[in-house]
A and B are shown apart, each in its own frame.
Chain A
Amino acid sequence: MKYLEDIGKYFMMLGQVFKRPQKGRVFYEALIKEIEELGLKSLGIIMFISFFIGGVIALQTALNLENPFIPKSLIGFAAKRSIILEFAPTFCSIILAGKVGSYITSSIGTMRVTEQIDALEVMGINSLNYLVLPKVIATVFFYPFLIALAMILGIFGGWVAGVLSGLFTGADYIEGIQTTFNPYLIRYAIIKTLVFAFLIATVPSFHGYYVKGGSIAVGKASTQSVVWTTVLIVIANYFLTQMLLT
């Protein structure tokens, strides 16, 4: 029953979020700030993880292809597919759900328990619109770029790993990543990213906005929001894959 109530509350929250901002200039300033907080400040971790995971994917693929009849270029091909289809959009979004999700919940939750949200409401400001809409726009606008960067760095990491380990040559790897390039897969990955970005902004906002209690409640809400965002990303990933690829 509680879950149903929360789902209803979540959609009612979205109804308040997607209203015209009360003041364009204030919204624009908040949007720029959120792009920096939620997007630019995540660049480092995404670049670091993408590079190394790309390397690991390439190494694992190479180590599992022992049959001499299988061309080495298949390593690059398999690594490229894994990175574009799953690693970059899904794995990176789960990392962002942890990093950005906990930040969103704790910042909005702290505003709730310290009456800052009440202060906004008393001033006559639609607090959900003011606090959440810039986050949604920032993530939905910026994360596709972040994921595209993760794809490039992941593939590059695979090439570096191969060359350094000697398990395959750079030429084989490049041949593999150039084999049967299907632009639809990029579109698929971007569509997934947009949905995940929306979840990363709204689910933690929901948990932060409706928190009740003090600092412990904010901490619990942060944990819950990361868990729920991850669960929803995984479920959405399954349905999107079925809808878009089968």
Chain B
Amino acid sequence: MIDVKNLHKGFGGVQVLKGITTNFHPGKTSLIIGQSGSGKTVFLKSLIGLHTPEEGTISFDGRVSTNFTNEERRQWRQEIGMVFQGSALFDSQTVEENVMFPLKMFKKQSQKEMLERVNFVLDRVNLTNSNKKFPAELSGGMQKRVAIARAIVMNPKYLFCDEPNSGLDPQTAIVIDKLIQEITDEYQITTVINTHDMNSVMEIGEKIVFLKDGRKAWEGSSNEIFKTDNEAVVSFVYSSNLFKKVREAYLNEKNL
């Protein structure tokens, strides 16, 4: 479990995160939503240790990340998988090399063992026969799959995804969402996803944290988000007519 307590972070005197407290559970897909500039990316980057909090703590199964020794931090890093917004695949490496990279750096395995593992995860993300292709030869959706494969190749305990659906068509976005949810469930990973995509909120949001101006404005599940009367959440999530209608239909169905 990831436990965040009173997290503060600022840049050049501007406070971006203003005391966020929340937690994320294993085997559940948790979403962080909010408008642009609400602090989602800074929050996610603080969770993965790319930003150091000014105040507050983040603990991973009871281990406080700010208190890690170098060795503990190195160990903890190997428990993390991250899917970046633009996939962040290494341009100069093939799909196979990209996915194999963490294994080469941290595992003492033979080339054959590593290749078996790479093929297994590529198969798991439904990407076969692309081992020798370079990222530039792949579609956006395929690049995301490779990024997911690279993120899970080390069997992570924690998976973080920064806008995994950005730039994808709705159909591919749903496939990627489902894939992340399946993997989370299958390996009991603690997954945190930063997203703008309301489809993801409806489909896979087992826990949703809504950020506004660097503060947690609301949290709940995808079912609860239909019922909430939190003004900030309603105006953000139901800003489109389509989602307003979906919400009305849901509430009518439940007679709420």
A residues within 8 Å of B by Cβ? 22-23, 25-26, 110-111, 114-116, 118-119, 121-125
Contacts and interface: CB of A to CB of B under 8 A. Distances in A.
B58 to A, nearest CB: 14
Contacts of A115: 84-86, 88
Given A26-B104, A122-B82, A125-B105, A116 B77 contact: no
B105 A122 contact: no
Contact of B80 (A23, A114, A116, A122): A122
Contacts of A123: 77-78, 101-102, 105-106
B74 interface: yes
A114 B88 contact: yes
A116 B90 contact: yes
Given A26-B105, A116-B88, A122-B50, 5 more contacts: A23-B106, A111-B91, A115-B88, A121-B50, A123-B105
A25 B86 CA distance: 28
Nearest to A23: B105
A174 to B, nearest CB: 46
Nearest to B48: A122
B170 interface: no
A119 B105 contact: no
Interface string B3-28: 00000000000000000000000000
Interface in B85-117: 85-86, 88-91, 101-102, 104-106
Contact of B104 (A25, A111, A116): A25
A110 B92 CA distance: 12
B44 to A, nearest CB: 11
B37 interface: no
Given A23-B104, A23-B105, A115-B85, A122 B49 contact: yes
Nearest to B105: A23
B88 A124 contact: no
29 contacts: A22-B105, A23-B104, A25-B104, A26-B104, A26-B105, A114-B86, A114-B91, A115-B84, A115-B85, A115-B88, A116-B89, A118-B45, A118-B50, A119-B82, A119-B90, A121-B50, A122-B48, A122-B49, A122-B77, A122-B80, A122-B82, A123-B77, A123-B78, A123-B101, A123-B102, A123-B105, A124-B76, A124-B77, A124-B106
Contacts of B77: 122-124
B178 interface: no
B4 to A, nearest CB: 18
Contacts, number: 49
B57 to A, nearest CB: 20
A23 B101 CA distance: 11
B227 interface: no
7 closest residue pairs by CB, A with B:
A124-B77, A115-B88, A119-B88, A122-B82, A115-B84, A116-B88, A124-B74
A129 B82 CA distance: 21
Interface string B68-82: 000001101110101
A56 B3 CA distance: 71
A91 to B, nearest CB: 30
A116 B48 CA distance: 15
Contacts of B78: 123-124
Nearest to B162: A115
Contacts of B101: 123
Nearest to A113: B86
A212 B182 CA distance: 36
Contacts of B73: 124
Contacts of A23: 104-106
A118 B88 contact: yes
A31 to B, nearest CB: 14
Nearest to B77: A124
Contact of A118 (B76, B84, B91, B106): B84
Most chain B C-beta atoms within 10 Å of own C-beta, residue among A110, A121, A124: A124
B65 to A, nearest CB: 13
A114 to B, nearest CB: 6
Contacts of B88: 114-116, 118-119
A119 B102 CA distance: 10
Contacts of B82: 119, 122
A164 B212 CA distance: 78
A115 B85 CA distance: 9
Contacts of A119: 82, 84, 88, 90
A219 B49 CA distance: 29
B96 to A, nearest CB: 14
Contacts of B106: 23, 123-124
Nearest to A124: B77
